[in-house]
Amino acid sequence: MNWNYPTNIWFGVDRAKQIQEACNQLNVKNPLIVTDPGLLKTPIIDQINSDLLKKTTVYSEVQGNPTGSNVTNGVKVFLDGNHDGVIAIGGGSGMDAGKGIAFLAHQSLPLWDFEDIGDWWTKADSSVIKPIIAIPTTAGTGSEVGRAGVFLNEDNHKKKIIFHPKMLPEIAILDPSLTLNLPKGITAGTGMDALAHCIEAFSSPFYHPMAEGTAVEGLRLVKENIQEVYHNGINIEARAHMLVASMMGAAAFQKGLGAIHSITHPVNSLYHTHHGTTNGTVMPFVLNFNRSVIEKKFDRLAKFLNISHGFEGVVNWIIELKKEMEIPETLKEMGVKKGDEVKLAPLAQEDPSTGGNPLEMSEDKFQELILNCIEGNY
């Protein structure tokens, strides 16, 4: 199947073999492949490279939480090779880095001048942003349909969102065969990321019925498939559904995210934890904290997902899912100590995701909530 939403999405088994057709459609003659070091060790990158008319350069200097220097170093490779487009392959790190490189390569201003603040994105020269083809190999971030990238500023150890409408890939290839060999831990963490995107988009108080409907259907696909892909990773149909759920979560969160991501971003930056796994760890604590303003909506959601006992049923399902997939129960298990909530709270409060939380937050509230996440107080 091919969809437009608005990204051109090519969905189906072995669709990655059509990479040259995608390049032809976008008139890309000399693409740069951007990925991460782990994926470079698998056959996936060499296979996709071999499916091009001519093998091309691969840039893989990308960390799990990609940094600004990962992007700027990639820009040098892009310019030195006279590349005219990017094929971004991987999870969120590889795809975000690829999008950042295609965006920044021919700009006259540095990366951080385009942070997602007000209309800063208008400072970019849209005409020189190069085409992006995104190929996800995990089912979590949905970066293949996103208009932004998240990068760690190494100077202040803060995650920053770089946004521009033309960072949206022109073609996204969703090929579930590329996800079959994911380790169980990565399957769990990325699945929790997809779940977090859908559930926070649904929870957000902003009015966007299209995004909310997308989030609800994404939640159904996660609920019906996440345990299957964790226990039986070779089930390609379940893998396909999770890829679609991941994409839907990213499309939905234009409605807003919330305190799950507000906490996860600084924890990722300071403790070098996996983004999706951290989302899974803090998720039920945040939902309970927001209960007073989302309970009625979640009672409705529970009926749609065929979960008994309304809001409590949904939260208990997530808690049991964490246990089943060996997601750490608390932030303490991820190296966050009691007392660290004092330094994490202001970082969470200033995170762009905070504005979409259904309950209005403050540094004091974040201290209380993060302490709950550390100590396990549901």
Q: Which residues pair with 88 in a beta bridge?
A: 34, 134
User: What does pLDDT average to over the chain?
Assistant: 96
Bridge-based pairing of strands 2-4 and 8-11 is antiparallel
Q: Are residues 352 and 213 in the same domain?
A: yes
The pLDDT assigned to 264 comes to 97
DSSP summary character for residue 182: -
* Single residue among 143, 178, 213 that ends a domain in this structure: 178
Output the DSSP codes for 217-229.
HHHHHHHHHHHHH
User: Residue 64 has what pLDDT?
Assistant: 87
pLDDT of residue 5: 82
- Two structure tokens written together for 142: 């949905």
| pLDDT tens for each residue of 108-167 | 999 999 999 999 999 999 999 999 999 999 999 999 999 999 999 999 888 899 999 999
Are residues 204 and 304 both part of a single domain?
yes
Q: Which of 178, 196, 230 is the last residue of a domain?
A: 178
Q: Do 260 and 238 belong to one domain?
A: yes
Pair 28, 68 in one domain = yes
**What string of H, E and C letters represents the secondary structure of 140-158?**
CCCHHHCCEEEEEECCCCE
Domain match, 308 and 362 both: yes
Half-sphere exposure of 325 (CA within 13 A, CB side): 30
The CATH number of whichever domain residue 243 belongs to comes to 1.20.1090.10
User: Do residues 203 and 287 share a domain?
Assistant: yes
CA diameter of the chain: 59
Question: Are residues 188 and 173 both part of a single domain?
Answer: no
On whether both 169 and 39 belong to a single domain, the answer is yes
Name the domain boundary from 125, 157, 178: 178
Q: Is 266 helix (H, G, I), strand (E, B) or coil?
A: helix
Predicted local confidence at residue 29, as pLDDT:
98
Shared domain for 240 and 348, answered yes or no, is yes
Q: 3-state DSSP call for residue 172?
A: strand
Q: Long-range contacts of range 360-367, CB-CB < 8 Å, 24 or more positions apart?
A: 361/259, 361/262, 365/289, 366/259, 366/262, 366/263, 366/341, 367/341, 367/342
Cβ burial of 120 (10 Å; 0-12, 13-18, 19+) is middle
Interatomic CA distance for residues 102 and 202, integer angstroms: 31
> What is the pLDDT at residue 4?
87
Q: How many domains does the chain have?
A: 2
- Residue 100 is predicted with a pLDDT of 97
Helix/strand/coil for 366: helix
Instruction: State the 10-residue block means of pLDDT for the chain, 378 residues long.
Output: 90 97 98 96 96 97 93 98 97 95 97 94 97 97 93 89 95 97 94 98 97 98 98 97 97 96 96 96 98 97 97 98 98 97 97 96 98 96
What is the pLDDT at residue 278? 98
Q: Are residues 205 and 346 in the same domain?
A: yes
Residues 212 and 162 in one domain: no
Q: Is the peptide bond before 6 cis (omega within 30 degrees of 0)?
A: yes
pLDDT digits (tens, 9 = 90+) for 42-79: 999 999 999 999 999 999 999 988 999 999 999 999 99
Domain of residue 275 covers: 183-375
